[in-house]
Amino acid sequence: MGKFIITKRRNDEYQFNLKAGNDETILTSEGYKTKANCKAGIDSVKINAPYDHRYDRRTATNGQYYFNLKAGNGEIIGTSEMYNSILARENGIESVKTNAPTAEIVDLTGE
């Protein structure tokens, strides 16, 4: 089962990582000014993750593959790691689709 891990960056922004059942990070958020906004970002991932058209498949300048998950308004709500092949990227997308909707939230900020 997947989980969203909330942490606080050194610049005092909050972020989340979605981890698959094997503890591999499969999606990372931007930085948020408040924890409430970070949790709203998690809610948006849970809502949008099942829909294939929300995934923007990209190729980096170094030739590696990645994806952005976008909300209904087109805003990026999470970015994947870099993958060496299109197939690996597609597997990453499937993992987000599978894990995000039911993932528990683990808050490591200690607040």
Which domains are seen in the chain, by residue range?
A: 3-107 (2.30.29.80)
Q: What is the pLDDT of residue 20?
A: 95
pLDDT above 90: residue 82: yes
Q: What is the pLDDT of residue 108?
A: 97
pLDDT above 90: residue 89: yes
Strands 55-59 and 65-70: antiparallel
Q: What is the pLDDT of residue 1?
A: 85
Mean pLDDT of 33-61: 98
Mean pLDDT of 59-84: 97
> Residue 59: which pLDDT band, with cuts at 50, 70 and 90?
very high
Tokens of 64: 């590696």
User: Tens digit of pLDDT for each residue in 1-13?
Assistant: 899 999 999 999 9
Q: What is the pLDDT of residue 44?
A: 98
Mean pLDDT of 92-109: 97
- Rounded to two decimals, the pTM is 0.94
